[in-house]
């Protein structure tokens, strides 16, 4: 596809080394004065003609370049994907700004396509010995992808490139800013898309996939007491913040009753059992605390608020741990029995909490902060243990 | 003689891959990670020391090292299950304290006696140390009536009053752990004075605090003074002391246990004594991650050095060390790569001759601990928590061997 030639007539183009790449390309006219080029090239070859321009100042404090250092973890993630996926796909073109040593030679063949596009060949001088500053191209977008392909242990990996030619450094810089100033996706949308996503994802999202999937089932399954109650982009009327519910699920998956179903060493998580335990628990919560506190927006009921959802999650873990072992766990009645022992001490919708620290707290003074969540949690769990009698004497002394 | 290791959530991740430096993203911290007593045989210590300050934080300032979910699981399961004390080749004991160093700057300890008793009993500890307030100074000539001793006397009295209350509460509620009182002082006489008071309260196990900055002969002077008043059946615990050579001498003064983090911490805090061998120490081979070294990162961001070049030197250093370990290249080639990388991240210190000493002796190849056996030269590379903590574990292993040798115990298991 690409040919390296050493032709006399290209000497003006590639005086420094005499080598050029001939890349089949499309020229696209955009607006009155801009020409874009799109072509394919082996990613391994990119460093021979394009550099990453990093921000630095010279001795006169003049700004040079415009790029940030590679984010090594991000590079490693892409590299692992390119190396290990059986059909890796990097669909986005990288963007390269060329200086005017690069030329476009239109093909002779007349085409009856639209007037803004013509086929031809992009002639790019290359050299293995160039310093970054000598290279005719700068990578405006796609630095991490280029680094990953450069380092990947694969023989070749062709990628799409979009390029423009300009001698103007300031033009490079403004394109760089434009390309990189787009907003990331909102978190809530990412979480809602996660359960149905497959294939490569960054690790921190892969880890969130399980709680996001459990959340989705709680939110949309018929049998779930939380059906349509969790606020997500497609369910804006929900009263419980998706983030609060995710936190509660993550806590229990890492350190609570749901950990038992998380799977390990090649076994998949048992999402069905997770949903069963959660449905039983929240059904019990609805029964015990009743209409007054259930299904109301957080400003009317702290039970539906981050502090309520998350602290109740810890109580679920405590009740499950004291009433079950191994494969068994409490049912709705079991959870309800545990919840009833703390019910009279809760102030979800009115009144004042007596948390035992001598500081009375009005029900609506409880905030969704780590400190308040911890206070309510410690109080609920220790009260629960205290009511369990002799067997839990040890635990009831806590907090 | 029992050695307790203070827990600070120090575990290693068995899924960590030394080549790619990646780990299983689904691993759950603490649960899937391994403690030193699960990795090493025999366990390098007899028990763990767990501080309330690390688990719960202090009300006013710090938040502790435990996440809320971890803390609640510790309380639900108890320490034996949480720390997997029975998972090693020998079961461990667990001792609790308040972590007095975390509140040394406060006017008064931030915990009530009731809270602390609840913490020990709730977690199911074997031993519990009373609430104390550290006295840092050592001034053997200052009498308790001197103006200079005013603050020290105040702290000592707080410690004694809390010890009396602690004893009373433990007796009244019939706890399952053995209570220890704390003696704090600034001179041999003042330490002995507190021991008299603690024995009067009823304590037969006494923790000796505030000795970390003391010279060995100062510690011994205090122990001798305590000897004069110590009941024959009173046992001492030295808080934060690890002078192996002196342990048999300490034992002669009624010391039956001590705790220390220093073998572990020296692995990555010390300037040169990073890797223990039975009769000496070695400097570890520093190859920091390009994006883990603040100074280097700043130089890259400013454009002073290129990231690509730094990464190349870093990779070369790692590759040469591994080749050297396999006997594929000569020492000088490995050393050159180390020095070339050092020059970009650490212009000042020249550790070349120390590195040569480490490389020449190849101590990681001589070590029989399960960590060196498994990951070899990675243990002695100073780089990232997974390597540094493994080296700390290795040091604990050697420390345990030294200790048993000092005490004349058989070292074979
Ligand atoms: Zn070793």
Average pLDDT score over residue span B56-80: 83
- Residues of chain A in contact with residue B118, where contact means CB-CB under 8 angstroms, are 397-399
Cβ–Cβ < 8 Å for A90, A82: yes
Catalytic residue among B33, B97, B132, B325: B97
Nearest CA in chain B to A249: B69
- Rounded CA Rg of chain B: 23
Structure tokens at A86: 């059986």
C-alpha to C-alpha distance for A76 and B23, rounded to whole angstroms = 12
Residues A197, A198, A200, A206, CA torsion sign: positive
Q: Give the residue with greater pLDDT, A394 vs B44.
A: B44
Query: Does the beta-carbon distance from A259 to B28 stay under 8 Å?
Result: yes
- What is the rounded (10 degree) CA torsion for A188, A193, A197, A203? 0
> How do residues A214-252 score in pLDDT, each as one tens digit?
999 999 999 999 999 999 988 999 999 999 999 999 999
pLDDT level of residue A54 (50, 70, 90 thresholds) = low
Find all residues with CB under 8 Å of B293, minimum gap 6, and list them. B345
Lowest mean pLDDT among A135-139, A177-181, B266-270: A177-181
Q: What is the pLDDT of residue A205?
A: 86
- What is the rounded (10 degree) CA torsion for A131, A134, A136, A139? 50
Among A4-13, A56-65, B283-292, the range with the most confident prediction by mean pLDDT is B283-292
Does residue B259 register a pLDDT over 70? yes
Nearest CA in chain A to B299: A56
pLDDT level of residue B61 (50, 70, 90 thresholds) = low
Query: Does the beta-carbon distance from B31 to A70 stay under 8 Å?
Result: no
Nearest CA in chain A to B29: A254
Main-chain dihedrals φ then ψ at residue B85, nearest 5 degrees = -65, -20
| Cβ-nearest to A57 among B78, B290, B303 | B303
**DSSP reduced 3-state for A303:** helix
Query: Does the beta-carbon distance from B302 to A56 stay under 8 Å?
Result: yes
Does residue B302 register a pLDDT over 60? yes
Query: Does the beta-carbon distance from A255 to B303 stay under 8 Å?
Result: no
Q: What is the pLDDT of residue B59?
A: 57
Instruction: Look at the block and give the residue holding tokens 């991650």.
Output: B289
> How do residues B344-370 score in pLDDT, each as one tens digit?
998 777 899 999 999 999 999 999 999
Nearest to B89 by CA among B48, B126, B36: B36
- Residues of chain A in contact with residue B306, where contact means CB-CB under 8 angstroms, are 54, 132
Nearest to A140 by CA among A101, A110, A175: A175
Share of chain A above pLDDT 90, in %: 57
Complex ipTM? 0.88
Query: Does the beta-carbon distance from A254 to B28 stay under 8 Å?
Result: yes
Average pLDDT score over residue span A356-374: 92
Give A339→chain B minimum CA distance, Å.
Answer: 17
Find all residues with CB under 8 Å of A131, minimum gap 6, and list them. none
Find all residues with CB under 8 Å of A177, minimum gap 6, and list them. A66
Nearest CA in chain B to A262: B26
Query: Does the beta-carbon distance from A377 to B68 stay under 8 Å?
Result: yes
Nearest CA in chain A to B23: A203
> How do residues A323-337 score in pLDDT, each as one tens digit?
876 678 899 999 999
Nearest CA in chain A to B291: A72
Instruction: Look at the block and give the residue holding tokens 């298991």.
Output: B413
Query: Does the beta-carbon distance from A251 to B297 stay under 8 Å?
Result: no
Distance B381 CA to ligand 1 centre (A): 13
Main-chain dihedrals φ then ψ at residue A37, nearest 5 degrees = -125, 135
Which DSSP helix (H) or strand (E) runs through B197?
Answer: helix B188-201
Alpha helices (runs of H) in B252-306, residue ranges in sequence order: 262-269, 294-301
Q: What is the pLDDT of residue A16?
A: 47
Distance B386 CA to ligand 1 centre (A): 14
Tell how far CA A143 is from the center of its chain. Answer: 19
- Residues of chain A in contact with residue B126, where contact means CB-CB under 8 angstroms, are none
Q: What is the pLDDT of residue A3?
A: 46
- Residues of chain B in contact with residue A203, where contact means CB-CB under 8 angstroms, are 25
B259 counts as catalytic: yes
The 10 Å CB-count burial string (b at 16+, else e) for B297-325 is bebbeebeebbbebbebbebbbebbbebb
Distance B383 CA to ligand 1 centre (A): 16
Query: Does the beta-carbon distance from A255 to B307 stay under 8 Å?
Result: no
Give A224→chain B minimum CA distance, Å.
Answer: 25
Q: What is the pLDDT of residue A5?
A: 44
Lowest mean pLDDT among A46-50, A62-66, A72-76, B174-178: A62-66
Q: How many CA atoms lie within 13 A of A97 on its CB side?
A: 23
Q: Whole-number mean pLDDT of chain B?
A: 94
Tell the burial category of A150 from Cβ atoms under 10 Å away from its Cβ (0-12, 13-18, 19+). middle
C-alpha to C-alpha distance for A364 and B348, rounded to whole angstroms = 57
Q: How many CA atoms lie within 13 A of A334 on its CB side?
A: 19
Q: What is the pLDDT of residue A6?
A: 41
Cβ–Cβ < 8 Å for B17, A245: no
Cβ–Cβ < 8 Å for B320, B333: yes
Query: Does the beta-carbon distance from A254 to B72 stay under 8 Å?
Result: no
Cβ–Cβ < 8 Å for B103, B110: yes
Q: List, as own/partner pairs, every contact residues A164-167 make where C-beta atoms lie below 8 angstroms and the sequence separation is at least 24, other chains included.
A: A164/A34, A164/A35, A164/A36, A164/A37, A164/A97, A164/A98, A165/A35, A165/A37, A165/A97, A165/A98, A165/A99, A165/A100, A165/A102, A165/A104, A166/A97, A166/A98, A166/A99, A166/A100, A167/A99, A167/A100
Distance A393 CA to ligand 1 centre (A): 43
Catalytic residue among B259, B291, B339, B368: B259
3 state SS for B215-264: CHHHHHHHHHHHHHHCCCCCEEEECCCCCHHHHHHHHCCCEEEEECCHHH
Q: How many CA atoms lie within 13 A of B282 on its CB side?
A: 29
Structure tokens at A350: 């009115």
Q: What is the pLDDT of residue A272?
A: 96
DSSP letter (8 states) at residue B12: B
| Cβ-nearest to B118 among A69, A314, A397 | A397
Distance B20 CA to ligand 1 centre (A): 22
A interface with B, Cβ–Cβ below 8 Å: 54-57, 64-65, 68-73, 76, 80, 132, 203-204, 206-207, 251-252, 254-256, 259, 262, 264, 314, 317-318, 321-322, 370, 373-374, 377, 381, 394-399
C-alpha to C-alpha distance for A367 and A373, rounded to whole angstroms = 8
Lowest mean pLDDT among A319-323, B37-41, B245-249: A319-323
Share of chain B above pLDDT 70, in %: 98
Query: Does the beta-carbon distance from A255 to B26 stay under 8 Å?
Result: no
> How do residues B317-342 score in pLDDT, each as one tens digit?
999 999 999 999 999 999 999 999 99
Does residue A399 register a pLDDT over 70? no
C-alpha to C-alpha distance for A232 and A219, rounded to whole angstroms = 9
| Cβ-nearest to B76 among A80, A254, A318 | A318
| Cβ-nearest to B118 among A64, A80, A398 | A398
Distance B367 CA to ligand 1 centre (A): 5
Does residue A308 register a pLDDT over 60? yes
Give B295→chain A minimum CA distance, Å.
Answer: 14
> How do residues A82-117 score in pLDDT, each as one tens digit?
888 788 899 999 999 999 999 999 998 777 778 899
B interface with A, Cβ–Cβ below 8 Å: 20-22, 25-26, 28-29, 31-32, 63, 67-70, 72-73, 75-78, 117-119, 121-124, 176, 289-291, 297, 300-304, 306-307, 311
| Cβ-nearest to A395 among B70, B76, B306 | B76
Give B233→chain A minimum CA distance, Å.
Answer: 30
Q: What is the pLDDT of residue A326?
A: 66
Does residue A10 register a pLDDT over 50? no
pLDDT level of residue A14 (50, 70, 90 thresholds) = very low
Nearest to A121 by CA among A44, A37, A45, A50: A37
Nearest CA in chain B to A210: B26
Q: What is the pLDDT of residue A11?
A: 42
Instruction: Look at the block and give the residue holding tokens 């001490």.
Output: A345
Nearest CA in chain A to B78: A395
Average pLDDT score over residue span B390-406: 96
pTM given for the model: 0.86
pLDDT level of residue A390 (50, 70, 90 thresholds) = very low
- Rounded CA Rg of chain A: 30
Give B279→chain A minimum CA distance, Å.
Answer: 40
| Cβ-nearest to A254 among B25, B69, B301 | B69
Query: Does the beta-carbon distance from A370 to B68 stay under 8 Å?
Result: yes
Query: Does the beta-carbon distance from B31 to A259 stay under 8 Å?
Result: yes
Bridge partners, residue A26, by sequence: A38, A119
CB pairs under 8 A between A and B: 99
Average pLDDT score over residue span A339-343: 97
Q: What is the pLDDT of residue B413?
A: 42
Q: Are strands B285-286 and B281-282 parallel, antiparallel or unpaired?
A: unpaired
């Amino acid at each position: 596809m690409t040919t390296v030639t050493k032709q006399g007539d290209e000497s003006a183009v590639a005086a420094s080394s005499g080598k050029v790449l001939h890349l089949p390309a499309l020229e696209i006219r955009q607006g009155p004065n801009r020409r874009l080029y799109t072509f394919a090239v082996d990613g391994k070859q990119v460093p021979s003609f394009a550099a990453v321009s990093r921000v630095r100042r010279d001795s006169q404090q003049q700004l040079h370049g415009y790029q940030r250092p590679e984010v090594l973890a991000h590079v490693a993630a892409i590299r692992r994907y390119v190396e290990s996926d059986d059909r890796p796909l990097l669909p986005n073109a990288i963007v390269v700004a060329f200086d005017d040593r690069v030329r476009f030679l239109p093909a002779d063949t007349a085409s009856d396509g639209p007037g803004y596009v013509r086929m031809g060949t992009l002639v790019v001088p290359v050299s293995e010995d160039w310093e970054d500053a000598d290279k005719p191209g700068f990578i405006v977008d796609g630095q991490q992808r280029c680094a990953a392909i450069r380092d990947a242990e694969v023989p070749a990996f062709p990628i799409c490139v979009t390029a423009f030619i300009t001698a103007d450094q300031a033009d490079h810089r403004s394109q760089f800013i434009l390309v990189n100033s787009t907003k990331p996706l909102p978190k809530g949308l990412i979480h809602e898309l996660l359960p149905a996503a497959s294939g490569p994802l960054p690790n921190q999202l892969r880890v969130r996939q399980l709680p996001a999937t459990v959340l989705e089932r709680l939110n949309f399954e018929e049998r779930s007491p939380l059906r349509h109650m969790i606020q997500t982009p497609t369910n804006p009327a929900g009263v419980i913040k998706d983030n609060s519910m995710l936190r509660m699920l993550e806590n229990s998956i890492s350190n609570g009753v749901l950990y038992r179903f998380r799977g390990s060493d090649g076994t998949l998580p048992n999402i069905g059992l997770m949903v069963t335990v959660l449905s039983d628990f929240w059904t019990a919560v609805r029964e015990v605390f009743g209409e007054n506190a259930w299904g109301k927006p957080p400003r009317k009921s702290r039970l539906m608020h981050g502090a309520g959802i998350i602290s109740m999650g810890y109580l679920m873990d405590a009740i499950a741990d004291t009433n079950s072992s191994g494969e068994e766990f409490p049912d709705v009645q079991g959870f309800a029995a545990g919840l009833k022992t703390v019910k009279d001490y809760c102030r979800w919708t009115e009144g004042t909490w007596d948390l035992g620290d001598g500081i009375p707290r009005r029900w609506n003074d409880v905030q969704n902060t780590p400190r308040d969540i911890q206070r309510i949690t410690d109080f609920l769990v220790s009260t629960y243990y205290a009511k369990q009698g002799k067997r839990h004497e040890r635990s009831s002394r806590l907090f | 003689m029992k050695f307790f290791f203070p827990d600070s959530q120090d575990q290693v991740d068995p899924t960590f891959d030394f080549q790619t430096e990646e780990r299983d993203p689904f691993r759950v911290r603490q649960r899937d990670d391994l403690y030193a007593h699960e990795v090493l045989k025999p366990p390098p210590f007899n028990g763990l020391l767990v501080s309330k300050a690390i688990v719960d934080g202090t009300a006013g300032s710090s938040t502790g090292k435990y996440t809320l979910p971890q803390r609640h699981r510790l309380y639900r399961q108890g320490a034996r299950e949480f720390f997997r004390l029975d998972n090693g080749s020998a079961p461990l004991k667990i001792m609790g304290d308040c972590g007095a160093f975390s509140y040394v700057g406060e006017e008064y300890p931030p915990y009530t006696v009731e809270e602390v008793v609840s913490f020990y009993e709730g977690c199911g500890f074997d031993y519990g140390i009373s609430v104390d307030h550290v006295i840092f100074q050592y001034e053997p000539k200052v009498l308790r009536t001197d103006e200079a001793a005013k603050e020290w006397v105040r702290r000592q009295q707080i410690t004694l009053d809390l010890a009396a209350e602690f004893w009373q509460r433990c007796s009244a509620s019939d706890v399952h752990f053995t209570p220890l009182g704390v003696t704090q002082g600034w001179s041999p006489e003042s330490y002995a004075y507190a021991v008299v008071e603690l024995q009067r309260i009823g304590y037969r196990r006494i923790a000796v605090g505030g000795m970390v900055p003391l010279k060995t002969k100062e510690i011994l002077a205090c122990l001798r003074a305590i000897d004069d008043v110590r009941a024959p059946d009173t046992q001492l615990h030295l808080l934060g002391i690890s002078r192996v050579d002196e342990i048999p001498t300490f034992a002669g003064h009624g010391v039956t246990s001590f705790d220390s983090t220093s073998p572990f911490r020296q692995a990555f805090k010390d300037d040169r004594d990073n890797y223990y061998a039975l009769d000496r120490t070695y400097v570890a081979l520093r190859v920091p991650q390009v994006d883990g070294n603040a100074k280097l990162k700043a130089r890259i961001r400013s454009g002073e050095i290129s990231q690509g070049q730094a990464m190349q030197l870093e990779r070369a250093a790692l590759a040469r060390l591994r080749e050297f370990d396999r006997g594929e290249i000569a020492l000088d080639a490995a050393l050159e790569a180390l020095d070339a990388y050092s020059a970009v991240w650490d212009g000042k210190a020249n550790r070349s001759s120390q590195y040569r000493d480490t490389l020449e002796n190849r101590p990681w190849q001589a070590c029989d601990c399960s960590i060196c056996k498994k990951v070899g030269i990675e243990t002695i590379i100073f780089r990232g928590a997974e390597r540094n903590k493994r080296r700390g574990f290795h040091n604990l292993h050697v420390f345990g061997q030294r200790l048993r040798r000092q005490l004349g115990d058989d070292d074979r298991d």
